[in-house]
Structure formats: structure tokens, C-alpha cells
Amino acid sequence: MEKTGAQILIESLLKEKVEVVFGMPGGPALFLFDEMYKSNLNFILARHEQAAVHMADGYARATGKTGVGIFTSGPGATNTVTGLATAYMDSVPLVVITGQVVTTVIGQDGFQEVDTTGITRPITKHNFLVKDVKTLARTIKEAFYIASTGKPGPVLIDFPGDIQRAKCDYVYPDKVEIRSYKPTIEGHIGQIKKAAQIINASKNPVLYIGAGVVISKAEKEVLAISQKAQIPVTHTLLAVGAYPYNDELSLNMLGMHGTFWANKAIQSADVIIAVGARFDDRCTGKVVDFARNADIVHIDIDPASISKIFKTDIPVVGDAKAILKKMETFIEKKERKDWIAKINQWKKENPLRYDENDDKLHPQYVISKLSELTKGEAIVTTEVGQHQMWAAQYYKAKHSRLFLTSGGLGTMGFGFPAAIGAKSVNPDKEVIAIAGDGSFQMNMQEMAVCMANDMPVKVIILNNQFLGMVRQWQMMFYDKHYAHSCLAKRKECPPKCNTPNNGKCPAYLPDFVLWAQSYGAEGIRVKSKKEVELALKKMLASKNSVVLDVWIEKEENVFPMVPAGNALDEMLFRFHG
Amino acid sequence: MRHVISVLVENKPGVLARIATLFSARGFNIDSLAVGETEDPEISRMTIAVGGDYSVLEQITKQLNKLVDIIKVSDFTDIQYVERGLALIKINATKTNRAEIIQLASIFRTRIIDMASDSLILEVTGDKDKIEAFIKLVSVYGIKEMCRTGEVALSRGELK
């Protein structure tokens, strides 16, 4: 039967079982939106395109399914760029559709025309410009296939106005075959055996797991190997929750703000088994000194991730779950009492700590309490900065996909919309955005979406009145020159102020409590440690969206820390000013 | 070190841009690039000469393979292959040295494709080294203008 391009798109989305679409209409997408008006596609209207892509991203990270967004051309498309880049860096499957000026106008600088496929080429896994309606159905099928398979990522379809209107016979293909795109799933058995041999012969092995483990649902396989051969496990920021936090073999997170014992273990290891992790510089510290004495086994579905940063000794290309399952049969049972004792010693030597016993309002306390009250079962999202690191250190997520954060790109403004995306299909789950006061202001307009769609999201602002991570670096590495990192600063402040605790700071803008109330959400301010627990309980008990504005210590720093350029075991535990 | 990579790609709009974007985004250097249809009109072959050590080459090959429109990437570094490029060189030629230039041109099996009162255009084909040697030789006469193609390359057939 003949259908218009717009009808084909919407029916294809429904055939792909798309539960929810985020986005915003506009000129060259109007015909498509008119078709949406007639359909029962579940569409959530965001207030900014960037936020809408983060919503789709949050949905995808929480569910493991492909997130979808629909936007208009020009500024609508350019506003998606940060969202696409965020998803691209963290391998999140998205299909993003943008309207485009009619094909006869493309290239003539039409109103709201921009070279969308050109702009998004380096930040998408693939993109398409549809110039013939007859290719549309296949393009959509391919887009979903490419986005969700192999190393997942965002795929963009640029959809000109005249193609939305053009008609053709519609058949949605039920399978897809792309001769130039065939991800390797099964690992090479010879490589798997070699890896197992090296692991069996090792004394001090460490498993280093990343987002790939979550994507391929290989948590059980990681656990099985680590328990069988008694291999300690450290995880990246994107794999929080993938390994049981309190297990004896858990090293928790490694890297710049990882634990002392994870970093020590890496540096003392004789074999590192990297699974679905890409040796990001925030994980490795100074690359030449990373795991100095270790052979590297690297399991990854993306061949380009292997030997990108340094030479891998045993690469195994393929799906983590498939490979680990096979590998487990070749792995010998081991005890490794000495190795584990050594790690426990490091744990005792330098545990994660803050001044728990004073009366000050420390952010770590807030996160620890939240973790305790939610039992680590809530979906937590974060923005980017100090609060993100505290959350990663102190929130004990019970399993994967409960801790959603922008790792690779480090996108401020990600967390709140991502929480909305996660909440959109999890009405009964507690979804909490942990934010800094700086990050939150980058996409806080989306509170309207929570209220309008009855999707209560809880927001905890760890408010230090600063771009906190910037301030921390300025304190530690730039002689306390707080150059444009104070968010309370006004015209009348001393220009070079670096004494935010002098009691003379002007009132913070905005008043987050009044701001929340203006949306009909609840606003709660917390200014002392003793109020924290009650406020958190009140927040969790509420059926409404809540903004908890927690006035934490202004100059609290994130520790431990590996300063940029240092080796992983050259860590700082406090600031010696 | 110079490496020649032969890349089979879908003959679709935007593919060259994808490859160019990849090279610039990842900081790889292209020495030369030649693109053309193959025996199958749906497939183009790109011959890319790149500089860098083996680890750079490995990354380039892998990153190229990751692009969805790329069908096959072959690295010619360790195999037998033939390559040819072409250069058009307009050089100064006076009555007195014209004969000398023509003689030189014939040794290199180049062709004279334009002759004017004070210049002539030579067409030289060959691998990169030959073309560069020739350019160096004729540069003493003064090169007025020059243009070069990227090299194209094919792996040699098997001898049975």
C-alpha cells in the first residue's frame, strides 16, 4: 500500500517497538509531526533539543534499548549535537531523526537549513540523508540495526520535507544485511585459550571492566570468572554497579578519583584483563606507567579500541558475554590468598574517607545516606563534576544500569534530562538526579516536562555555589585563582575573591526552592548535616518532583585524586595548601 | 614510513567526506588519495597513501574498517603490489634546451602533450619514486606549473 514518508517513519518506529520518543517540532518537520498527531506514538515534548537527546540517552542507558528523538532542521539539529556526542562517546544506542529543508533547496542556504549529516558525521556511528522515499524503510531498519549492534552508538537520519510528503509502497524489511557492516560476536577460540593460559599462570591478575560488560550483559560471566579464579575486579565510571560493590574481590572504581586499592592493584598486577573498557585517560593516568608490569588481555567488540592507547598483548575481538562464557571453561580455580590480603591491606591503609565526625555538611555524607535509604536500588543519574565523582564513590548501586552518567564527553546538563528519560518508562522506580548547582542550571528548564507528564524526578543539588571541579583544580594547580568559577559572584564582589567562606557572599541565584515551587514541584533546602536524613526521607516519600537544595561545604575537594600526568599510584589524599 | 592502503567503499555520496573527516579528526596524515569506480559501479576504490609507523597504520586500518560504508581495507605494506601516479609538468623550454628536455623525457618514457613557444607540458606516469625523481631532474629548467594525481595501486596477481 502507498504511504507517505511521514507515515512510513512512524509505522516503522512502531514496528521497532519504540515505547517513547523525545523531541521538539519545527518548520521542516511539520508534515511529520502532523502524522504523529494522527498516530498513537508516545511522544514527550522537551524544552530544548539537547535535553531531549539526553532523555533518549537516559532511556537507553536505563533500559538497554535504543532511544529515539525527533527534531526539526537547522537550530533543532545543531542543538542535538552535544547529546549525540555524549551518546557517541559512551556507546549509547540512539536513532535521531531530524527534519531537513526540501531536497530542491538543499545547498541554497534555505531558512533553517544546515548540513546536518556533515555536522554530525564525527559524532554519530553513522548517518543518512534520505533523498528518495523508496529507501526510507530500509534506512530506518538499518539505523536501528547499526545503532544497537556491535559497539552501539547514535545514528542520525536527516529527513527532508518533500520526502516526508512523497509516497511509495511500504514494506518494512524484517531483516537487514549490510555487506560493509558485520560486527564480530564470537571471539577467536585460539585467542581465548591464550588469554586463559596467561590468566591461569598469573599471580596478581586484575579484571578491569567497562561499559562493554553492561552493554553485552556480561555481569554474571565476569562474576563467575572472578570468583572461580579469585580475580579482583575494578570498574570504570560507566560500569558502576556491574560488579557487587561490597564483594571481597571488588576493588571499586579505578582512575583519577578511583580507590587507592584499585589503582595500587592495577600498578602491581602481572595481568590486566580489560573487558569492554577502552583505557580512557581518566582511567590510566600517565599511560606509559599504567600497569607497568602487566600483560594486557583486552576483550572488546571494537577492534579499533584494541592497541589504541598502548600495545595489547592478547586481543580478543568480540562480544564480552560470548567470550567470557567460553573463557570460563579454560580458567582454573585459584586461591590467591596473598594477593587478596595485599589488597585488603591497601583498603585499610587508605579507605575512602571524609571528615565524618565534624558537624559540617559534607557531600559524601549526603550520598552515603541516599545510598543507605534507597538500598542502592534507585536509578541515579549525575551531571558532571565533583558531585559526579562523590556519587560514583559513595552510591552503592545494586546492579548495572542504575547509575547513569556522562563519562567520555563529561557533559554538564546530562543528568537531569537523562533522569527524565529513565523515569519515562519506569513510573514505579525511584529516579534521582544527583547534580551540582552549576550543571543543573544547564538543563533545568526540563522540570516542565516532569510536571506536565506526571513523571516525578527527584533532584539533589549538592550546592557549593561553584563550578566545583573547576574550583578544585584552581585551588590545587592554579594558586587558588578562582577565575570565573564562583556562581554566587556579582558585580560588587572583590574581583579576585578566593575566600568564599568570609560570610559576605551575595545571595545565590536562583533560589532553587522558590524556583521548584514555581513549577509546582517541591523545594527543600538543607543547610546543616542534621537536616540531611529527614530531608532525604521526605524527598523519597514524595509523589511529586522534588528539588533538594543541599548547601554543602563550599571548598570540599574530591579525594583521592591522581593529578593529571601522574601515574595511577601517585595519588593525593588531601590538599596541602 | 609510507604505507599504501587500498579501500573498497560503497559508491555513495558522503563516503569521501567520512574518510576525510576520520583522518582529520584522528590526526592521521594523508600523503595522497585517489578515488574511482571499480569494475562494479556500486563500489569505488580509494587508494590512500599515508605516513606513520605500524601502530598508526594499525589504527588507521581499524578506524577505516569501523566506518559503515567501507567494505574492505587492504594494507599493501607487506605484499607485492604495483602503483602508478601521474603528473603533468609545465616547464620552461627555450630553443636551446628543448632538445635536451625531450631526450630526458624519452628516457623516462614520458609524453609531451603540449608545446608552446617558451614551455612544454610533460605527462609522466609511474610510482611515486619515479615521478619524484623526474620532477627533481626537470626542476633545473624551471617548473612553471605542476599537478599530480594520487597514486593508484593494485596487488599483483599470483604466478602459478
pLDDT in tens, A495-533: 999 999 999 999 999 999 999 999 999 999 999 999 999
Tell whether A568 is covered by a domain.
Answer: no
Residues in chain B: 160
Residue B47 and residue B33 in contact, taking contact as beta carbons nearer than 8 Å = yes
In the predicted model, is pLDDT for residue A13 greater than 90? yes
In the predicted model, is pLDDT for residue A384 greater than 90? yes
Tell whether A177 is covered by a domain.
Answer: no
Distances A334 to A90, A265, A338, A343, A552 between C-alpha atoms, Å: 34, 18, 12, 16, 46
In this prediction the pTM is 0.96
Nearest chain A alpha carbon to B14: A118
Last residue of a domain, which of A291, A323, A349?
A349
Same domain, A160 and A200: no
* CATH, residue A300: 3.40.50.1220
Same domain, A373 and A505: yes
Same domain, A259 and A165: no
Q: Which residues have CB under 8 Å from B142's CB, separation 6+?
A: B91, B92
Same domain, A203 and A299: yes
Tell whether A184 is covered by a domain.
Answer: no
Q: If you search the block for the grid coordinates 599537478, which residue do you land on?
A: B147
Same domain, A477 and A545: yes
Number of domains in chain A: 3
- Which residue of B10, B21, B70 is in closest CB contact with A122? B21
DSSP state of A446: G
A1 versus A551: the higher-pLDDT residue is: A551
Tell whether A116 is covered by a domain.
Answer: yes
pLDDT at A225: 98
State which residues form the domain around A40.
2-169
Same domain, A206 and A290: yes
When pLDDT is averaged across residues A86-115 and rounded to a whole number, the result is 97
Q: Using 50, 70 and 90 to split pLDDT, how confident is the model at A482?
A: very high
For residue range A409-464, what is the model confidence (pLDDT) as tens digits?
A: 999 999 999 999 999 999 999 999 999 999 999 999 999 999 999 999 999 999 99
Measure the CA–CA gap between A63 and A87, rounded to whole angstroms: 14
Cell of B137: 631532474
pLDDT at A310: 85
Same domain, A370 and A267: no
- Which residue of A117, A181, A304 is in closest CB contact with B62? A304
Phi then psi for residue A410, to 5 deg, are 60, 60
Whether chain B has a CB inside 8 Å of the CB on A40: the answer is no
Whether ipTM exceeds 0.85: yes
Same domain, A369 and A512: yes
Asked if B10 and A180 come within 8 Å (Cβ–Cβ), the reply is yes
Tell whether A574 is covered by a domain.
Answer: no
Last residue of a domain, which of A349, A382, A409?
A349
Residue A526 and residue A535 in contact, taking contact as beta carbons nearer than 8 Å = yes
Same domain, A519 and A410: yes
Measure the CA–CA gap between B148 and B86, rounded to whole angstroms: 6
Provide the 10 A C-beta neighbour count for residue A132.
12
Asked if A122 and B25 come within 8 Å (Cβ–Cβ), the reply is yes
Measure the CA–CA gap between A328 and B15, rounded to whole angstroms: 41
Burial of A462 (0-12, 13-18, 19+ CB in 10 A): buried
Q: Using 50, 70 and 90 to split pLDDT, how confident is the model at A50?
A: very high
For residue range A201-248, what is the model confidence (pLDDT) as tens digits?
A: 999 999 999 999 999 999 999 999 999 999 999 999 999 999 999 999
When pLDDT is averaged across residues A311-325 and rounded to a whole number, the result is 97
Phi then psi for residue A252, to 5 deg, are 65, -155
Residue A265 and residue A340 in contact, taking contact as beta carbons nearer than 8 Å = no
Same domain, A337 and A215: yes
Measure the CA–CA gap between A102 and A163, rounded to whole angstroms: 7
Same domain, A343 and A388: no
* CATH, residue A423: 3.40.50.970
Least-confidence region, from A82-91, A106-115, A185-194, A568-577: A568-577
Tell whether A556 is covered by a domain.
Answer: no
Asked if A303 and B62 come within 8 Å (Cβ–Cβ), the reply is yes
Q: Using 50, 70 and 90 to split pLDDT, how confident is the model at B160?
A: confident
Chain mean pLDDT for chain A: 97
- Which chain B residues have any C-beta within 8 angstroms of a chain A C-beta? 9-10, 13-14, 17-18, 21-22, 25, 55, 58-59, 62-63, 65-71
Provide the 10 A C-beta neighbour count for residue A182.
10
Nearest chain B alpha carbon to A130: B13
Last residue of a domain, which of A300, A321, A349?
A349
Tell whether A181 is covered by a domain.
Answer: no
When pLDDT is averaged across residues A279-304 and rounded to a whole number, the result is 95
Distances B60 to A184, A299, A325, A402, A534 between C-alpha atoms, Å: 19, 20, 31, 36, 56
Tell whether A380 is covered by a domain.
Answer: yes
pLDDT at B159: 86
pLDDT above 90: percentage of residues in chain A: 99
Strand order in the sheet with B2-10: B30-37, B43-51, B2-10, B70-75
Same domain, A369 and A398: yes
